[in-house]
Structure formats: C-alpha cells, structure tokens
C-alpha cells in the first residue's frame, strides 16, 4: 500500500493530552476554556490537514514503539479512521462551547477536573480512530474507559457511584475479560495483531475458533452496547449532559462501533465470516438489539434515558451494516458513524437545554414546551428527523445505503428490521415534538413567553442541527471517504 510516514497522527492525539496540565493549572476559568478551544481547534486542524492525503487514497502511518516481534504501538490514518476523527474532533469544539454554557449555567462543581478529563478522553478517541493494530486500539480503548469514569460520575453522589460501578464492570470487565484473551488467541495463531484488509486470521481458521473470537470481540467491546451488554449506557446518563452528548452519543459508543468494524472487516475478515455463515449470527444479534432497544425507548419517560436506548439501537445499525458484508451496506454503516453523531448530539444538547432552562428531566412534563423554547425544540425536530432517517437531514443517506445493502443481499428480514425500527424511531421521537408545539392551550404545562437556554448552549445546538441538514446537501466528504475505505478493505 502506498502511504507516507508522518508524525501528524501522533500530534493529533497528543494535543489534548498535553493540554491537560495547562487546564489543570489555569487559575482563571476563562483562560482554561480558552486553552480547551485552542486544543480542540488545533486538533481539528491537524486532523483536517491529513484529509487531502487520505482522499488521494494513500494513508499516513507512524510507529511509536515496537513491543515484540509483530507487535508495535503504531498509528495509521486511513479513510475509515478519518471519518471518525473528523466527526469527533469537530464535535469536540462545539461541545466545548456547550460545556461552558451548561456547566456555568448549572454552577457545577469541579469544572477544571471536568475539562481535563474531557481532553484526555478526546485524546483516547482520536487514538482509537488512528490505531494501526489491535493492541494500540486496545490501549486507547482502555484509556478512554478510565478517562471517562470521572466524567460519568461527575456528580459524586450515590447514584453516580452505582452507575460508575456499572460502567466499569461492563466496559473494563469486557475488555479485560474478553478482548484481552481474544487478542492473545489472535497473536498466538497469527503472530501479529495488525489490521489487514480482508482479515488478519488465516482462512483455514476453524469454525469453533472463529465463533469464540467473534463473540469475545463483539461482547468484549462493550462500548458498542450490544444486548445483553448494554445496561451501562442508560446508567451512564447520570453524567452531565455535554458528557452524555459527546461521549455517549459520539465518542465512547462510536469507539465501540468503530472497533467492531475494524474487527469484522480487518481481523476476522469477510472470508471466514461468510464461510461459516457467522455474519448472519452478528446480523441476528444486532437486529435483536435494534428492535428491543427501540421498543424499550418507547416506554422511557426520562428524556436522556429514551435517547440512550435510541443510541443502543442506532449503534447496532452500524454493526448490522458491516456484518451484511455488502459494499452498499458498508458505506451506510461507516456514514452512519457521522450522520448519527450529528443527529444524536443535537438531541442530547436539546435535552440539556431543557434541563438548564427549566430543570425538567421527564418527557411527560414537557407538554407545550415548544412555545417556551421554540429554537431548542425546532433543533430537536431536525435531530430526530436525522435519527429516523428522513430528508432533508444527513441521516437519510446512511439509512438509504443500509437499506440498499439489505436489498442487495436479498435479505427481507433485515430490510424489515430496519424499516420497523425507523417507524419505532418516529414513534418515540415525533410525539415529543408534537406535544411540544401543538398541545392544546389548557394542557400546556408552561406559561407563555419565550425563555430559552443560555446562548452558549443554544448556539452549539443550532450549529449541530444545521450540520445535520448540511450533511443532506453536502454528504460527499463522508461518502467519498467511505468509498475509499471500502476500496482499501475490499468487501
């Protein structure tokens, strides 16, 4: 493969790692936030500066240290990693702005710690995106788990403690208990852990071994929240909303999905999976998660919990799309990383806006809120359109390609799963919007007069909503990257 060696991927990771001492030592909160913006912008620029090379079909690699024969901590930027890196680094800038509005609006304690660990978590996220092999990915995956723990448990009360335990039990338990042995088995049989287009494992891998490895990886990377390893995600909603927004709709969960894509396409490989019909097994598990997740979301009254279950179901779209082993579905899945990210972060921001402005956490208490917070609820409407997959939002494209993929492989069942799930998505999002705007005057729980969230919260929300619409008109960048990734991986 033609690639260039450059230190830029490492710089992109280190930017936010190196900024933490500055954040921690800032006396003044304005200076601290300035540093955050500086780091976020710099990170975004470094990531974007690598884009032209990637678009030319090349990749950028950098080896940090060698560990043992066939094993090294090394980075490689390819199209797939680029999609994820662009999404998470651009959304970090927006979330930083939102964090300022939210944290100051609610006068949260320990804001310095919050911003420090946020920066650390972003380092780890970009690290996962740019990993060239399983062990590097595992390293950043673990780093992300531990860096997000103080964010999830930010409130430091009893509820946060219990949720934090659940979070670690699922995520660290999965990675040490399942992924680590699976990596050992891979290394023991192949002598390398590099991502290889078409699959690292030799085609003659036995069915039993393939099943074990697949299940270990699929459930071990518990951040992707495939049922029954999903319970940490709703629990993690005790976190402040910006954390839920960026980490639990974009970074953390997408890291899980990203790891699964890598494992399915570049470790296990198409050949082994289709030979033993294992891709159907993955599709089945993913479909169950999609449907059950959506159904549970219907019954949730707490705003953020409903979004959490929606995320669980949407993540499995990505898994399903990759596991169909079809070019169209793959494009859909990799675009869904980006499209869902913009849609879901908008929804979380809206939930946060409602909480900051009114202190309300439950959907049943939000009737008529559209008259009080019209901009927020309009953004919410756009975001939910994107998650449902309707034009004119970016979510339409990824879902369109996913559906095309299921038709291409003549799989009516999975086509039905996607369509039913879209209906369910509409069923749990649109009533919120309807009740917000069109509830009768006497049923409205709010008095008249517009009282929106602070500007620092509102502007990022609007930006993200506009982003969702923008992606409908200009999806080329992600589509193109997906196609390049597809060529490299060769499904």
Partner 1 sequence: MKEQFPALIVTVPLLSSFIVSISGWVRRSLCFYITLSVLILINIFSFSILNQVICSGVIQYRLGGWEPPWGIAYHIDHLNALMLCVISVVSLLNLISTKKAVERDMEEKRGAFYTLYALMITGLLGITITGDAFNLYVLLEIASLTGYGLIAIGEDRAVLSSLNYLYMGTIGACFYLLGIGYLYIVTGSLNMVDISHILPSLYNSKAVMVAFVICMVGLWIKMALFPLHGWLPNAYTHAYASSSSLIAPLMTKVMVYVMLRVMFSIFTPDYIFRYINPGRMIVWLSISAIFFGAVMALSQKNIKRMFTFIIVSEIGYMVGGAWIGNRVALTGCIFHMVNDALMTLGAFLFLGILSHNNIDETFDGIKGLTKRMPFTMGAFILCALSFIGVPPTSGFFSKWYLLLGAMDAGYYGFMLALIVSSLINVILFFRIIEAAYFYGHDASEIREAELFELVPLFMVVAIILIVGLLNAELVQYIIDPAIPKMII
| Binding positions for partner 1, rule: CB under 8 A | 64-68, 73, 109-110, 135, 138-139, 142-143, 146, 150, 153, 156-158, 160-161, 164-165, 168, 172-173, 176-177, 180-181, 184-185, 187-188
Which is closer to partner 1, CB of 146 or CB of 400? Answer: 146
CA–CA gap between residue 81 and residue 126 (Å, rounded): 8
Which is closer to partner 1, CB of 152 or CB of 307? Answer: 152
Which is closer to partner 1, CB of 256 or CB of 460? Answer: 256
Which is closer to partner 1, CB of 37 or CB of 146? Answer: 146
- Long-range CB pairs of 83-86, under 8 A, 24+ apart, other chains included: 83/334, 83/335, 83/337, 83/338, 83/478, 83/481, 83/482, 83/485, 84/125, 84/128, 84/129, 84/254, 84/258, 84/337, 85/12, 85/47, 85/126, 85/129, 85/130, 86/47, 86/48, 86/51, 86/338, 86/477
- The nearest distance, CB 181 to partner 1, in angstroms, is 6
- The nearest distance, CB 260 to partner 1, in angstroms, is 20
Which is closer to partner 1, CB of 21 or CB of 202? Answer: 21
Q: Which residues pair with 302 in a beta bridge?
A: 362
- The nearest distance, CB 191 to partner 1, in angstroms, is 11
- The nearest distance, CB 210 to partner 1, in angstroms, is 18
Whether residue 264 is preceded by a cis peptide bond, meaning omega within 30 degrees of 0, is no
List the structure tokens of 284.
Answer: 């089945």
Which is closer to partner 1, CB of 167 or CB of 478? Answer: 167
Which is closer to partner 1, CB of 93 or CB of 103? Answer: 103
- Let me know if 410 is exposed, middle or buried by CB neighbors in 10 A (0-12, 13-18, 19+): exposed
- The nearest distance, CB 17 to partner 1, in angstroms, is 12
- The nearest distance, CB 304 to partner 1, in angstroms, is 21
- The nearest distance, CB 38 to partner 1, in angstroms, is 23
Which is closer to partner 1, CB of 187 or CB of 437? Answer: 187
- The nearest distance, CB 193 to partner 1, in angstroms, is 11
CA–CA gap between residue 484 and residue 478 (Å, rounded): 10
Residue 396 CA: distances (Å) to CA of 64, 236, 306, 332: 39, 28, 21, 10
């Amino acid at each position: 493969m033609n690639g260039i060696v450059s230190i830029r991927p490492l710089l992109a990771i280190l930017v936010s790692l190196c900024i933490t001492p500055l954040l921690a030592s800032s006396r003044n909160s304005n200076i601290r936030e300035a540093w955050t913006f500086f780091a976020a912008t710099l990170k975004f620029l470094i990531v974007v500066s690598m884009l032209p090379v990637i678009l030319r079909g090349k990749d950028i690699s950098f080896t940090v240290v060698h560990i043992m024969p066939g094993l090294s901590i090394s980075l490689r930027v390819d199209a797939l990693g680029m999609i994820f890196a662009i999404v998470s680094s651009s959304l970090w800038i927006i979330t930083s702005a939102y964090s300022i509005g939210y944290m100051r609006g609610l006068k949260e304690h320990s804001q310095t710690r919050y911003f420090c660990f946020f920066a650390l978590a972003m380092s780890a996220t970009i690290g996962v995106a740019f990993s060239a092999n399983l062990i590097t990915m595992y390293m950043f995956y673990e780093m992300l788990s531990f860096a997000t723990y103080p964010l999830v448990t930010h409130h430091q009360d009893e509820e946060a403690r219990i949720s934090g335990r659940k979070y670690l039990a699922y995520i660290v338990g999965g990675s040490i208990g399942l992924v680590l042995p699976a990596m050992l088995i891979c290394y023991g049989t192949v002598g390398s852990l590099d991502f290889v287009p078409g699959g690292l494992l030799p085609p003659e891998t036995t069915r039993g071994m393939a099943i074990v490895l697949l299940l270990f990886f699929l459930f071990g990377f518990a951040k992707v929240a495939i049922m029954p390893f999903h319970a940490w995600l709703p629990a993690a909603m005790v976190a402040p909303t910006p954390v839920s927004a960026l980490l639990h709709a974009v970074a953390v969960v997408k890291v899980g999905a990203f790891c699964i894509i890598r494992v399915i396409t570049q470790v296990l490989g198409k050949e082994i999976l289709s030979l033993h019909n294992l891709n159907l097994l993955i599709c089945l598990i993913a479909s169950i998660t999609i449907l059950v997740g959506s159904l549970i979301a219907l019954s949730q009254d707490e705003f953020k919990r409903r979004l959490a279950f929606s995320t669980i179901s949407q993540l499995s779209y990505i898994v399903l799309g990759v596991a169909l082993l079809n070019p169209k579905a793959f494009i859909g899945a990799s675009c869904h990383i980006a499209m869902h990210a913009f849609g879901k972060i908008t929804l979380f921001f809206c939930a946060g806006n409602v909480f900051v402005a009114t202190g309300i956490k439950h959907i049943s208490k939000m009737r008529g809120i559209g008259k009080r917070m019209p901009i927020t609820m309009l953004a919410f409407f756009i975001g939910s359109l994107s998650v449902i997959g309707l034009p004119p939002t970016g979510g339409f494209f990824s879902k369109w390609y996913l559906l095309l993929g299921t038709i291409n492989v003549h799989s009516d069942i999975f086509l039905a799963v996607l369509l039913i799930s879209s209906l369910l998505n509409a069923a749990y999002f649109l009533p919120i919007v309807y009740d917000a705007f069109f509830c009768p005057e006497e049923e409205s729980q709010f008095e008249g007069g517009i009282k929106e969230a602070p500007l620092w919260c509102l502007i990022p929300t609007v930006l993200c909503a506009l982003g969702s619409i923008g992606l409908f008109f200009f999806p080329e960048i992600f589509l193109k990257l997906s196609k390049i990734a597809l060529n490299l991986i060769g499904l």
